[in-house]
Amino acid sequence: MASKTAIVYDEEMTRYKLLWVDPACKIEVPERLTASHGALLSKGLLERCVSIPVRQATDEEILLAHSEEYLEAVKQTPHMTLEDLMTFTQQYGDVYFHPNIFHCAKLAIGATLQLVDSVMTEKVRNGLALVRPPGHHSQRSAANGFCVFNNVAIAALYAKKHYNLKRVLIVDWDVHHGQGVQYCFEDDPSVLYFSWHRYEHQSFWPNLPESDYDSVGKGKGAGFNINVPWNKVGMDHSDYLSVFFHVLLPVAYEFNPELVLVCAGFDSAIGDPEGRMNATPEIFAHLTHLLMPLAGGKLCAVLEGGYNLTALSQSVCQTVQSLLGDPAPQLANISFPCESALESLQNVRSAHQPYWTCFKHSAVGAVSEPSTKRSRVEEGGAENPQLPEQQQPEQQQLTGESGDTLEEEIEWPEPLPRSAPPVRTAVALPAGVEASLPEGCQRLEEATQTSDKTLEKIRDHLNEKGMKDEEEIAALRKLVSLLDKMNCKEIRNGLATVPDMPLAVKVAVQHALTSVDRVLVVLVGDDEWPVDLHDGRVLLVQICCKEPATPKSQYHIPVCIKQGPGDVAGFLQAVLSLLLPVAYQHNPGLVLEVWTQGSGVKEAAWAQLTSLLQGLAMGHTLALLQKSEDGPVRATAASLMGTPAPDLGPLGALCPEDVQAMEKLRTRLENKWEMLHISVPTKGQD
């Protein structure tokens, strides 16, 4: 089974540049590639990846997404004089040509296709193509926005053709709208295109009405084009994650792609002169991580924009580290998405309500009718899209004596190293129990010496009369040992089977709180749980079947699914729209994941949950199972080891009552858990 990560790169793609003065194009420099590649090298990441050579794309491949006339025209550029190149360039928007750019553009496509081939033939699990020129703005017969050929669009068409794929997901996290990709797949339901982009009610480049949330695709492709416009700059981690949890991920799971392509532009990171957003490079660790459980882990990231060389290099490294499976950094201060982000979120969900089950039965409509956007644009003035952006008051920039724009130096801390403990997963099973564990997974045979004393202390503290049974004590000692090993960074995560689950949960929480600030307990199954939630350090999310007595604490979140956790659609909805948002906001130092007997949860769904939860607590998850059954133990251990979970297949219908119950839960909790918001708060209400 492929577990490697590919990097596709060739220095040749640095050998073209802007040869004349053009303020719109001067940021697209060869150093974008050398800096990114250099950072991967100096951080020791490159040597952990498989390097795959680039190749030139063939005419046939280029023609998958472009017209013959356009290809023939670009073919002439290597022979043009400087003057001819300038004239040729002028027919397109915000792009430049160079005698070597045609060659590089063929390599950029070739690099992308090499990556797709390596992933599809399972030579590697995933990878990144570091390419120039970028692609997502280029169109059938036009260069645009630094792009000549549409690398990712060609890759999707190529994958459909050569591997007979029926569903490809394109996630475009670049800060610009990849209108070229949208045009290519607008009426094609086999390619789902998602893009978020700086928009500011159409006043930001490329200033298109069709970049707004109401462009949902056409004909058979209706519902398969998702635009999230950012109408303000300064969006941060909470805004980005909200859109992933409440828009992209639910749709992506419902779509069930066979391959994920990422238009990986890093101009959406802090410090970028184009994007002016506020998300630090660590966010890309999480965006990548959250996409990795899809399509059996088949993910190809392809560089698009990114113009602050520091932010770009750091973001590239974060992306690659997630692809490699390194522990994701903790994100502090995830709390409330800004009002403008919520407005976009609400509008895009409402526009897509007719097409996606995950948005059905939700009572929230669009933000005021008729839509707020046109009127705002037509009011003119500050937001008149006709004005070039530099002349707009809110975007006035400092200018130096040369008349050049001076970028205010924005600073942010360098991302911390993401070092992985020597052992990824340790499994504690009762003595004598045989289990076929995944390769590389360590079996914990003996509890640590100190665990005996520790357990005694916990027993006193909990005033626990039980804990007499030898088998029980042996299991609890192993559980304590796993937590200690996690704490001293010997192991990243662990799995234990325990005979008395309520007691084990109590002990684990009690012990964990001596070394971490906050714990997240995720319980799948019914039953009452004697976890002390009074001080807000422990958050308990329970995915269950029976409606519990009204919980008194904001830290007890029971999500009820009528048909039980075995209903995959309901289970997934609970995980994506409730569990993950509160979990990220809680920012635990440990995740305790509990599978109780008879919960009915499907193994594949549990595996997905296990994968997703590893984005929290730097991957410190302790999974507890009630019985040492081979299937669940192996599936859990595999997920903890980083093996992509099996596909869930078509999700089926969502039970309307479940959705309504979850909405009710949201209403109860959203004052405390702001990450649950999916609409603009109503004025006058608190």
Residue 484 interacts with ligand X5A (CB under 6 A): yes or no: no
Asked if 206 interacts with Zn ion (CB under 5 A), we say no
Residues 6 or more apart whose CB falls under 8 angstroms from that of 489 comprise 419, 421
Task: Report the distance separating Cα 621 and Cα 559, nearest Å.
Answer: 21
Q: How far is CA 358 from the centre of its chain?
A: 18
Task: Compose the 108-137 pattern: x for residues touching ligand X5A by CB under 6 A, - for all others.
Answer: --------------------------x--x
Q: Which stretch binds ligand X5A (CB under 6 A): 14-22, 111-119, 139-147, 313-321?
A: 139-147
Helix (H, G, I), strand (E, B) or coil at 309: helix
Look-up of token digits 């990846």: 49
CB of 207 to Zn ion, least distance (A): 14
Q: How far is 3 from 180, CA to CA, in rounded Å?
A: 32
Main-chain phi, psi angles of 586, to 5 degrees: -65, -35
Considering the rule CB under 5 A, would residue 28 count as an interface residue with Zn ion? no
What string of DSSP letters covers 375-410? Answer: HHHHT-GGG-TTS-GGGSGGG---B-TTSPBPPP--
SS (H, E, C) 209-256: HHHCCCCCCCHHHCCCEEEEEECCCCCCHHHHHHHHHHHHHHHHHHHC
Q: Binding to ligand X5A by residue 305, rule CB under 6 A?
A: yes
- Tell me: does residue 135 bind Zn ion (CB under 5 A): no
Q: Using the rule CB under 6 A, is 326 a contact of ligand X5A? A: no
DSSP 621-675: EEEEESS--HHHHHHHHHHHTTPPPPP-----PPPHHHHHHHHHHHHHHTTT-GG
Q: How many residues bind Zn ion (CB under 5 A)?
A: 5
Asked if 176 is part of the footprint of Zn ion (rule: CB under 5 A), the reply reads yes
Spell out the residues 6+ positions from residue 604 whose beta carbon is closer than 8 angstroms to its own.
Answer: 568, 635, 645, 646, 647, 648
* Minimum separation from the CB atom of position 287 to ligand X5A (A): 17
Count of residues touching ligand X5A (by CB under 6 A) = 15
Which of 386, 685 has the CB closer to ligand X5A? 386
Q: Applying CB under 6 A, does 258 fall inside the site for ligand X5A? A: no
* 208 vs 222, beta carbon nearer ligand X5A: 208
Residue 94 interacting with ligand X5A (CB under 6 A)? yes
Question: Contacts by 360-366 with C-beta closer than 8 Å and gap 24+?
Answer: 360/654, 360/656, 360/659, 361/654, 361/656, 361/659, 361/660, 362/659, 362/663, 362/678, 363/663, 364/678, 364/679
Per CB under 6 A, 208 contacts ligand X5A: no
Task: Establish whether 137 is a catalytic residue.
Answer: yes
Q: Quick one: 10 or 94, whose CB is closer to Zn ion? A: 94
Q: What x-and-dash track marks residues 160-189 binding ligand X5A by CB under 6 A?
A: --------------x-x-------------
**Closest distance between ligand X5A and the C-beta of residue 54, in Å?**
19
Using the rule CB under 6 A, give the single segment among 111-119, 141-149, 220-228, 425-433 that binds ligand X5A.
141-149
Among 9, 158, 185, 205, binds ligand X5A (CB under 6 A): 205
- Catalytic annotation, pick one of 137, 197, 246, 286: 137
What residue is closest to ligand X5A based on CB? 305
Edge to edge, what strands does the sheet with 491-497 contain? 442-443, 423-428, 491-497, 621-625, 590-595, 519-524, 538-544, 556-560
The interface partner of residue 137, options being Zn ion, ligand X5A, none and the CB cut-off 5 to 8 Å by kind, is: ligand X5A
Cα gap 667→256, rounded to integer Å: 29
Q: Binding to ligand X5A by residue 385, rule CB under 6 A?
A: no
Distances (CA, A) of 231 to 201, 397, 533: 6, 19, 39
Find the part of the chain contacting ligand X5A (CB under 6 A) among 143-151, 247-255, 549-557, 579-587: 143-151
**Interface map 632-661 toward ligand X5A (x if CB under 6 A):** ------------------------------
- Compute the least distance from the CB of residue 114 to ligand X5A, in Å: 21
Contact set for Zn ion, span 252-311 (CB under 5 A): 265, 267, 305
Binding segment for ligand X5A among 55-63, 140-148, 375-383, 608-616 (CB under 6 A)?
A: 140-148
Dihedral over Cα of 345, 350, 353, 354: its sign: negative
| Helix (DSSP H) and strand (DSSP E) numbers for the chain | 21, 16
Binding interface with ligand X5A (CB under 6 A): 24, 94, 134, 137, 145-147, 174, 176, 205, 265, 267, 274, 304-305
Which residues are catalytic, by number?
A: 137
